[in-house]
Amino acid sequence: MMFHIFLLCLLCTALGAPPTDDLRSPRDTTKCGYTSCHKTDPEKLNVHLVPHSHDDVGWKRTVDQYYFGNNEKDHMGIRGVEDIINSVVQSLNEDPNRRFIQVETAFFARWWETQTDEIKTMVKELVNNGQLEMVSGGWSMNDEAATNYQSIIDQMTPRVGWQIDPFGHTNAMATVLAELGFDGLFFWRLDYRDSEARQTDRRTEFVWRGNSDLGSKSDIFTSLLYENYNAPLYFCWDIQCGDEPIIDDKSSTEYNVKRKVDQFHKRIAAQAKNYQTNNILITMGGDFTYQAAEMYYVNIDRLIKGFQEFHPEINMIYSTPSCYLNAVRESAERNGITFPLETNDFMPYATSRHTYWTGYYSSRPNSKRFERQGNNLLQVAKHLVAFENAKNKSFEGDVIELKKIMGVMQHHDAITGTEKQHVTDDYVRMLTNAMQEAQKSIHTMIFDLLKYAVDDESVGATLNSCLLSNVTRCAESGEQRFTVAVYNPHGHTVSHFVRVPVVSTKYSVAGLHGGKIPFQISPVIDTFSKVPGTQSLYELTFKATDIPPLGVNYFYITKEDSTVNEPNLIEPSDKTVLGTESTGIEIDSTTGLLKSVTLNGVNQVVSQQFLYYQSSNASGGTRSSGAYVFRPSAGTEALIISDKTEFVTYQGEIFDEVHQKFNDWLKQSIRVYKNENYIEFDWIVGPLSYVNKLGIEVITRYITDLDNEATFYTDSNGRQLIKRVRNHRPTYEYTNEEPISGNYYPVTSRIVIKDKMKKIDMAILNDRSQGGSSLTDGQVELMIHRRLMNDDEFGVEEVLNEREYGEGVIVRGQHYLFSGFMSSLPDNVRLLTLESFAPNKLLLRLEHPFSKDDDEILGKPVIVDLKDLLTLYTIKSVSETTLGSNQLKSDNVRLQFPIKGNEKATGKELTKEEDETLKVTLNPMEIRTFILDVEARQLTRITGSANIHLPHTLLTLLFIAICVFH
């Protein structure tokens, strides 16, 4: 419900109107929208003052503490966001001239819920007359490095992007905003050299093409803020700033208007030089400003009057980002101004020669992983809610909290790991609660499906998703008999290896209809003895084969009598060549380290090392690594943790593996699944100890003899690959004072090197966001854990030193090595979202995950028949919408900005033919969003079909639940 409400207010129609299943038509241009902007003057310099408050959804204080304004000892003078919104709304109501932009919907939604009808009516009016503008519309201002685009889409609803604080910016973000139908994007925080060059050359505004496959459909007009997002120096009039007020009483000895106006004019003149049109935007605000809004507004009112008196050649107005955009577009059109086309991204972010913000790509690795699990659960919950909705049951309420907290988790001080520890704890608390709530309804629905499958209405059980199976804890799997339910959220049939911690060495596994399923029992590599709960000494692995798209399959696991039958436990082997002829690994028999890898029948030299960087020494007065920054000790290289391991190999029917122990705090299993085309690296690292009282930052490095010619590729928020060249930036002169951290990039899902001569690619896929690089040809490294000694002095004021059970935190994670990657991916349709939109309406997003550059065959357009995909429904009609699903594609008219070279954007609509046949075409990298009118059909029984294996299966987890029947 709430999501509908905010959708409406962004479109400037009646706020708070009852939710409706009709799609809204585009902006009501008669009242709000661009016509409500203050007039600009074509003959003058127009100065757009934009009042705003940057309200982090958690950072030094928790979300609740920021909202209510308690825990003040931490931050002198800062009160709550509740006070800010109350205060702003009153001040706007005082004077229709004034403007304000509201960014973080998480806070606004909370405020709105507690308001009286009178206040709500007043706020609706403020929105309608353009005084209060919602920008971005996201639940939070999302980070761009560590987030996955699926989560970005989920938390956004349209018009203008306002990404003023995230630490670097990505192509995928630009693309998502364009696809949402946004008119423009404003940002700050880009490399200091890039910023300087752009200001000097007047390239501060450009059309950013996020994706070359999508071409102009991914274009978004982008404007860089001038200095930062604060008000100009000496012009912050909030209670926390205490700047000199403007005194316009001419009879007073304190009268200062002329002096203040002249002071402000200097800033205007400097800024105007760097922008192409006769418009400039000046942010009037900052972190948690407008607690005493009237004080701020009264002074801005006087400043505007002062300019009218002393600088009539300048037209100074209250404005918003949208109004500014429109003015820029008009001015460009009138004066024949064109904007450069930009295709590169803005990663990594550096603020000075030795200060690269590349540490946060890896900070708080367990939170980054937990966020992925939350997204996985959310997507599955939405699918299941959609199924049940068609049967007229509502589970919507159980998912709403998870939607909200996932919006919060995307915030640039949440998934980034740049918040204080108590704030992390609070995020984890909220996410855990929301996941439990969502699981309740998932469980009910999984049962409904199971009852149908086994034709038994009397089935009752408890269900658990065993989120702690990474530390071998799962109470349910200790039972005599339990069932594993595997749900496939993908749009194609998949097979998946399921691993369950178990307590005995003797089991049997059966399918739904009684057939025996092969499985393997192996000893665990670690028992995580400090974690409470029953320790499992073994893991049971089986392959859940051929789970149909959006289907569930069930597996019955029974503990057998160990005195009667032979144990199934796998015995250690003396072999060092593991796997099969087509997929295998070779282990060095003296060191136990990896020597080579065979994939697709081709043997490659691949070794692996674990190493650590020592953070630089802050006591020497230099900037050290912190939650944001990665800065190894000057002139040092990564040090090898151990060049040999204690190791044991195991060979089984399903997989072979080696257990390696490097030392007390570093272990790894490398697994080769039979008949698969990848190698799994399952590492456990921690607790880390400081070395020489300096921070320690652990990496793993994969070393080949491939020649990647100083070039590697990292993904953009899980979407397209971006080319990176070592010691080089495409848009500015790169100086290499930090040869390690300056070459680090965010790796959200994969990092790839290619050898053009050998025609071989090697890709490492990861299970959470990490920082990574290729510092030497043939090598790829990823940072997997960090424990630091110092704060990096960018405001968090706390050392990144995560602790658990009285010691440093332990992290377990997986990397998947593919080689010949591109040609081994069989499927080119991805089901991105399926959720209930309204009664008998579904929201469906389909994605073509490949680029033309990925592969000749896979990078071709593909046709999807919606009938085949959604067998649970009869589809009555289909309409295509923008990515945010709140506007018909055909209604979305975006502002057009002229590009140098004169290219025009073209949109693509569902063709008449597509509509009739329910077949839709997806072009490379395209995401299309549809609203379907449906009628529920009988549930389909589980059926088998072709066995397809996708790396995406690894990226978007399947949902696996353990049920115990009673």
Residue 56 interacting partner from ligand NAG, Zn ion, none (CB closer than 5 to 8 Å by kind): Zn ion
The DSSP letter of residue 122 is H
The encoded tokens of residue 895 equal 């502002």
The encoded tokens of residue 168 equal 């670097």
* String of contacts with ligand NAG for each residue 572-611, x by CB under 6 A: ----------------------------------------
Residue closest to 881 by CA, chosen among 8, 44, 22: 22
Which residue, 289 or 465, has its beta carbon nearer to ligand NAG? 465
Choices 298-306, 365-373, 789-797, 855-863 (CB under 6 A): range interacting with ligand NAG: 365-373
Binding ligand NAG (rule: CB under 6 A), the pick from 235, 297, 357, 370 is 370
Task: Give the up-direction half-sphere exposure of residue 622: CA atoms within 13 A in the CB hemisphere.
Answer: 16
Binding ligand NAG (rule: CB under 6 A), the pick from 467, 475, 875, 936 is 467
Which residue, 468 or 895, has its beta carbon nearer to ligand NAG? 468
Which residue, 208 or 837, has its beta carbon nearer to ligand NAG? 837
Would you count residue 680 as binding Zn ion (CB under 5 A)?
Answer: no
Residue closest to 214 by CA, chosen among 851, 946, 943: 851
Which residue, 56 or 755, has its beta carbon nearer to Zn ion? 56
Which residue, 257 or 784, has its beta carbon nearer to ligand NAG? 784
Binding ligand NAG (rule: CB under 6 A), the pick from 453, 694, 760, 925 is 694
Mutual angle of helices 365-390 and 421-454, in 10-degree steps: 40
Cα torsion for 270, 276, 281, 287, to the nearest 10°? -70
Q: Given the DSSP bridges, would you call strands 830-838 and 666-673 parallel, antiparallel or unpaired? A: unpaired
The DSSP letter of residue 530 is T
Residue closest to 26 by CA, chosen among 843, 881, 846, 878: 881
Give the Å distances, CA to CA, from 22 to 9, 837, 839, 933.
15, 10, 11, 12
Residue 165 Cβ, how far from Zn ion at the closest point, in Å?
A: 4
CA 932 – CA 339 distance, rounded (Å): 38
Binding ligand NAG (rule: CB under 6 A), the pick from 116, 458, 692, 938 is 692
Residue 366 interacting partner from Zn ion, ligand NAG, none (CB closer than 5 to 8 Å by kind): ligand NAG
Q: Coil, helix or strand for 867?
A: helix
Residue 603 interacting partner from Zn ion, ligand NAG, none (CB closer than 5 to 8 Å by kind): none
Residues 802-831 that bind ligand NAG (CB under 6 A): 810-812
Which residue, 312 or 620, has its beta carbon nearer to ligand NAG? 620
Q: Coil, helix or strand for 221?
A: strand
Would you count residue 55 as binding Zn ion (CB under 5 A)?
Answer: no
Burial of 147 (0-12, 13-18, 19+ CB in 10 A): buried
Residue 392 interacting partner from Zn ion, ligand NAG, none (CB closer than 5 to 8 Å by kind): ligand NAG
Residue 617 interacting partner from Zn ion, ligand NAG, none (CB closer than 5 to 8 Å by kind): ligand NAG
Would you count residue 617 as binding ligand NAG (CB under 6 A)?
Answer: yes
Residues in the chain: 966
Residue 374 Cβ, how far from ligand NAG at the closest point, in Å?
A: 9
Would you count residue 619 as binding ligand NAG (CB under 6 A)?
Answer: yes
Residue 614 Cβ, how far from ligand NAG at the closest point, in Å?
A: 8
* String of contacts with Zn ion for each residue 140-179, x by CB under 5 A: -------------------------x--------------
Distance of CA 789 to the CA centre of its chain: 28
Burial of 336 (0-12, 13-18, 19+ CB in 10 A): exposed
Residue closest to 389 by CA, chosen among 885, 934, 878, 875: 934
Choices 51-59, 320-328, 338-346, 895-903 (CB under 5 A): range interacting with Zn ion: 51-59
Cβ 931 vs Cβ 879: under 8 Å:
yes
The encoded tokens of residue 592 equal 């136990």
From first CA to last CA, the distance across the chain in angstroms is: 36
Residue 652 Cβ, how far from ligand NAG at the closest point, in Å?
A: 24
Q: Coil, helix or strand for 73?
A: helix
Instruction: For 422-441, give one letter per residue: b (16+ CB within 10 A) or e.
Output: ebbebbeebbeebbebbbeb
Which residue, 165 or 586, has its beta carbon nearer to Zn ion? 165
Residue 471 interacting partner from Zn ion, ligand NAG, none (CB closer than 5 to 8 Å by kind): ligand NAG
The DSSP letter of residue 719 is S
Would you count residue 373 as binding ligand NAG (CB under 6 A)?
Answer: yes
Residues 388-407 that bind ligand NAG (CB under 6 A): 392
Which residue, 56 or 586, has its beta carbon nearer to Zn ion? 56
Active site residue 143: no
Task: Read off the amino acid at residue 509.
Answer: V
CA 128 – CA 768 distance, rounded (Å): 42
Angle at 69 between CA 63 and CA 74, to 5 degrees: 85
Residue 369 interacting partner from Zn ion, ligand NAG, none (CB closer than 5 to 8 Å by kind): ligand NAG
Burial of 452 (0-12, 13-18, 19+ CB in 10 A): middle
Give the Å distances, CA to CA, from 157 to 53, 140, 610, 882.
19, 11, 42, 10
Q: Which residues pair with 647 in a beta bridge?
A: 660
Residue 702 Cβ, how far from Zn ion at the closest point, in Å?
A: 35
Which residue, 533 or 944, has its beta carbon nearer to ligand NAG? 533
Q: Coil, helix or strand for 471?
A: helix
Which value, in Å, is the radius of gyration of the alpha carbons in the chain? Answer: 29
Residue 56 Cβ, how far from Zn ion at the closest point, in Å?
A: 4
Binding ligand NAG (rule: CB under 6 A), the pick from 52, 369, 671, 830 is 369
Residue 165 interacting partner from ligand NAG, Zn ion, none (CB closer than 5 to 8 Å by kind): Zn ion
Residue 60 interacting partner from Zn ion, ligand NAG, none (CB closer than 5 to 8 Å by kind): none
Residue closest to 721 by CA, chosen among 829, 822, 818: 822
Task: Read off the amino acid at residue 191.
Answer: D
The DSSP letter of residue 24 is B
Cβ 750 vs Cβ 714: under 8 Å:
yes
Which residue, 366 or 477, has its beta carbon nearer to ligand NAG? 366
Binding ligand NAG (rule: CB under 6 A), the pick from 328, 471, 780, 918 is 471
The active-site residue out of 165, 213, 238, 791 is 165
Choices 241-249, 363-371, 457-465, 895-903 (CB under 6 A): range interacting with ligand NAG: 363-371
Residue 373 interacting partner from Zn ion, ligand NAG, none (CB closer than 5 to 8 Å by kind): ligand NAG
Residues 750-769 that bind ligand NAG (CB under 6 A): none
Binding Zn ion (rule: CB under 5 A), the pick from 55, 56, 194, 419 is 56
Cβ 349 vs Cβ 191: under 8 Å:
yes
Residues 206-235 that bind ligand NAG (CB under 6 A): none
Residue 694 interacting partner from Zn ion, ligand NAG, none (CB closer than 5 to 8 Å by kind): ligand NAG
Residue 894 Cβ, how far from ligand NAG at the closest point, in Å?
A: 36
Q: Which helix (H) or strand (E) holds 237?
A: none
Residue 467 interacting partner from Zn ion, ligand NAG, none (CB closer than 5 to 8 Å by kind): ligand NAG
Cβ 416 vs Cβ 800: under 8 Å:
no
Residue nearest Zn ion (C-beta atom): 165
Which residue, 629 or 654, has its beta carbon nearer to ligand NAG? 629
The encoded tokens of residue 799 equal 């050392």
Residue 810 interacting partner from Zn ion, ligand NAG, none (CB closer than 5 to 8 Å by kind): ligand NAG
CA 145 – CA 24 distance, rounded (Å): 32
Residues lying near Zn ion in the complex (CB under 5 A) are found at: 56, 165
Q: Which residues are catalytic?
A: 165
Residues lying near ligand NAG in the complex (CB under 6 A) are found at: 366, 369-370, 373, 392, 467-468, 470-471, 617, 619-620, 692, 694, 810-812
